[in-house]
């Protein structure tokens, strides 16, 4: 069967689907919902969990206007209806309406927050709908009067001649004060470099630390109101690369970097939120050519415990239906980091030795935030994206030299060493040392293809230091 076709409406997200119905002398056949084809024409992968049928014995039955907190895919098994929809969400289109006469060849996708109603035009009409959340007892869902004068729906059968339940006869009038707010954004790891940047960039988000929500605490996870969130930004991670090589660190790294993301992926499937997870180039062994660098589809090849725990988290997040996995490298934000350390050494007159055989690109937290917003707002395909600042790949020594030059010191004041020599010095002190990927540069072609252009790392460095 051929692809259905999609038509937009004045209500954002509400779309009409013209189905491929095949008729003969026996009746008709149609693919009422075929996921692959629906995604191909642009419908969201909304993950239905329940299929309901409302049978209406007589012409004139009128139901609605109901605004439950889930998405719906509406169609008919038999008969004909007049469908009417009202945007009940906060925003410029609050109160906007759309109406359509539907038979069995037409379907409508109704996003969360849009009031849904219909009037039956033929006896024995079977109205069917897929929904992506379960009805919860004891919860009152918003509704709107069928005869509300503001939206003024032109019902083909006058309401005084229609069959309407007592409940629907007493629904309230349109009131901007009761407009449905979008589901919130949750920032996990709100106290870290990236979490702080995300919380600042998404001021309406709810940012929490691990002390406030520990994903390894089953009771805390069960008690958390996950259905309130439309997007979860997971900036929580164990980042002590060397300490992860210790017995205690190994447990902590796997709990934060693998178990936590696996829990979130399961919750995303259950509650339908979009999961944004931040990972690391450490999931690779660093042997890819610097050009184009590590690609999103490259097999994982982690070296140390931290890297292995991050790789496990990547695999888990990939099971979430709606996910963006952002792998990044050499993150710089507020607080202690390599750039601030080099700036401090330059100010103190110290001349450090810095490794020159690890090569990659800096990623400033504001760039990660910008990429996150771009993916969410552009509706880019879900999946894995590599994100860093742009420009040529550089060694840690070259970056240190750039910091020194911008701090009034000579680049020659930063001398070179190797990762092997640096590791020997650390191990000689009885401290743990994790293996590092020497090639950390990642290909940025995939995120560029979505319309995102990374800012040059040295331009971002100039601004950061100033």
In 121-261 the beta strands, taken as DSSP E runs, fall at 125-131, 184-188, 206-208, 229-234
Burial of 353 (0-12, 13-18, 19+ CB in 10 A): middle
Nearest Cα to Cα of residue 275 among 315, 229, 237, 228: 229
Catalytic residue among 118, 127, 129, 422: 129
Neighbours of 209 (CB within 10 A): 15
**To 10 degrees, the CA torsion angle through 232, 311, 453, 457?**
110
Q: Identify the active-site residue in 66, 206, 227, 374.
A: 66
Distance CA 464, CA 334 (A): 10
Using CA atoms in the order 402, 404, 405, 407, what is the torsion angle rounded to 10 degrees?
120
**In this structure, what token pair is assigned to residue 349?**
């007159």
Which residues have a Cβ under 8 Å from the Cβ of 2 and sit 6 or more positions away?
20
Question: What is the helix (H) or strand (E) element at residue 421, kind and residue range?
Answer: helix 419-428
Known active-site residue 66 = yes
- What is each CA distance from 356 to 3, 302, 399, 419, 446, in whole angstroms? 55, 21, 10, 8, 28
For the question of residue 422 being annotated catalytic, the response is no
- Tokens (6 digits) for 360: 């990659």
As given in the structure block, the two tokens for residue 301 are 């090849």
Rounded CA-CA distance 66/28 in Å is 30
Q: In b/e form, how buried is each residue of 411-420, taking b as 16+ CB within 10 angstroms?
A: eebbebbebe
User: Which are the catalytic amino acids?
Assistant: 66, 129
């Amino acid at each position: 069967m051929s692809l259905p076709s999609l038509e937009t409406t004045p209500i954002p997200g509400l779309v009409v689907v013209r189905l491929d119905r095949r008729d003969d002398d026996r009746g008709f056949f149609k693919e009422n919902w075929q996921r692959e084809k629906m995604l191909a024409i642009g419908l969201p992968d909304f993950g239905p969990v329940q299929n309901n049928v409302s049978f209406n014995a007589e012409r004139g039955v009128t139901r609605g206007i109901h605004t439950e907190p889930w998405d719906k895919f509406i169609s008919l098994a038999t008969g004909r209806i007049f469908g009417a929809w009202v945007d009940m969400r906060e925003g410029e289109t609050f109160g906007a309406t759309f109406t359509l006469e539907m038979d069995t060849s037409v379907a409508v996708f109704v996003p969360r927050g849009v009031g849904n109603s219909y009037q039956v035009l033929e006896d024995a009409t079977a109205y069917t709908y897929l929904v992506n959340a379960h009805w919860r007892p004891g919860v009152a869902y918003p509704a709107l009067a069928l005869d509300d004068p503001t939206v003024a729906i032109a019902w083909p059968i006058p309401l005084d001649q229609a069959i309407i339940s007592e409940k629907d006869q007493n629904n309230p009038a349109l009131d901007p004060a009761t407009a449905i707010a979008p589901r919130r954004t949750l920032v996990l790891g709100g106290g870290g470099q990236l979490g702080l940047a995300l919380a600042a960039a998404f001021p309406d988000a709810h940012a929490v630390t691990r002390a406030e929500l520990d994903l390894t605490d089953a009771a805390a996870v069960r008690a958390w109101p996950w259905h309130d969130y439309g997007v979860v930004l997971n900036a929580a991670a164990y980042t002590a690369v060397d300490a992860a090589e210790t017995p205690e660190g190994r447990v902590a790294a796997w709990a934060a970097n693998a178990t936590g993301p696996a829990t979130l992926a399961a919750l995303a499937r259950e509650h339908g939120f979009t999961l944004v997870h931040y990972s690391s180039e450490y999931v690779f062994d660093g042997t890819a050519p610097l050009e184009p660098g590590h690609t999103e589809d490259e097999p994982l090849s982690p070296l140390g415990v931290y890297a292995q725990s991050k790789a496990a988290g990547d695999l888990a997040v990939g099971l979430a239906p709606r996910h963006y996995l952002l792998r990044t490298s050499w993150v710089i934000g507020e607080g202690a980091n390599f750039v601030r350390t080099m700036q401090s050494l330059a100010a103190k007159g110290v001349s450090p030795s810095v490794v020159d055989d690890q090569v990659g690109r800096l990623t400033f937290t504001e760039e990660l935030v910008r990429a996150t917003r771009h993916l969410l707002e552009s509706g880019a395909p879900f999946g894995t994206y590599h994100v860093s600042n742009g420009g040529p790949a550089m060694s840690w020594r070259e970056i240190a030299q750039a910091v020194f030059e911008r701090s009034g010191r000579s680049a020659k004041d930063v001398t070179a060493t190797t990762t092997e020599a640096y590791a020997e010095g650390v191990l000689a002190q009885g401290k743990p040392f994790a293996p590092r990927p020497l090639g950390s540069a990642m290909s940025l072609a995939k995120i560029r293809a979505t319309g995102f252009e990374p800012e040059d790392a040295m331009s971002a460095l100039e601004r950061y230091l100033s």
